[in-house]
Amino acid sequence: MPPPVPMTVPTASIVVLISGQGSNMEALVQAARQGRWEQRFGARVVGVVSNRPDAPGLAWARQQGLQAAALDHRHYPTREAFDADLAHTIDAMDPHGQPAWVLLAGFMRILTPGFVQRYEGRMLNIHPSLLPAFPGLHTHRRAIESGCRFAGATVHRVTAELDHGDILEQAVVPVLPGDTPDTLAARVLTQEHVIYPRAVERLLAAAAAVAVAPPQRNV
């Protein structure tokens, strides 16, 4: 088992939202460790939140020494009530009161505009299609039924409009003869594990470069 995440205070903390297995969350945590994000960028994954208490990814996160919390969306009367509690839980995981980044990794909830605005510009998602094609659910089935020769995955910024926002990274995967939604999904998932950490690291590096850049002098 990998060693627990060291308990220092990051300058740019990351909270990941999941709903199930959390394989993209695992890829992010492992990339942060192997890529030395904390040493290079002052950034670290500090916590994981799920809308499903039985999500297997929560147990893995706890084994890594991460904060892990579950908020069962079925217990809330409205989306707004759930999102308000979700925001409070996310912010409480950050020693500074609000994380630098919120990363959706298979989080199967449509977020309210108020929640999106709270983390505007700092919230990312990975979607299993080549956006703008096939936003929403059942992307692999739709790609196959549409006769697509290629499918893939997209990392994008989250906006109030579902599966829109600036595209940061994409991976292309061929649709093979005889593919089913499950076989295509498995092949796309391997690429998700590559491009999501890569997109996040690129943003962290850019932010760190701005932070250390010398001030411009007026001549």
Query: In terms of residue numbers, what domain contains 86?
Result: 12-212
Tokens linked to 1? 């088992």
Asked, for residue 137, whether it belongs to a domain, the answer is yes
Per-residue model confidence (pLDDT) at position 210: 85
Asked, for residue 4, whether it belongs to a domain, the answer is no
Q: Which residue has the tokens 């983390």?
A: 119
CA distance 147 to 179: 11
Per-residue model confidence (pLDDT) at position 213: 54
Asked, for residue 69, whether it belongs to a domain, the answer is yes
User: What 3-state DSSP class applies to 213?
Assistant: coil
Q: Please say if 164 is a catalytic residue.
A: no
What is the total count of domains within the chain?
1
Quick one: which of 55, 81, 43, 60 has its CA closest to 2?
A: 60
CA angle 44, 185, 153 (to 5 degrees): 55
Q: Going by C-beta distance under 8 Å and a sequence separation of 6 or more, which residues neighbour residue 80?
A: 112, 114
When computed from its CA atoms, the radius of gyration of the chain, rounded to whole angstroms, is 18
Strand residue runs (E) in the chain:
12-18, 43-50, 67-70, 101-104, 123-127, 150-157, 167-174
CA distance 19 to 57: 8
Q: How far is CA 150 from CA 81, 135, 144, 187, in A?
A: 39, 15, 9, 12
Asked, for residue 165, whether it belongs to a domain, the answer is yes
Task: Give me the catalytic one of 73, 75, 96, 127.
Answer: 127
pTM of the model: 0.92
Per-residue model confidence (pLDDT) at position 211: 73
- Cβ(49)–Cβ(15) under 8 Å? yes
Per-residue model confidence (pLDDT) at position 174: 98
Asked, for residue 188, whether it belongs to a domain, the answer is yes
Q: Mean pLDDT in runs of 10 for the chain (219 residues)?
A: 49 96 98 98 97 98 98 98 98 95 97 97 98 97 98 97 96 98 98 98 94 59
What is the CATH number for 38? 3.40.50.170
Asked, for residue 3, whether it belongs to a domain, the answer is no
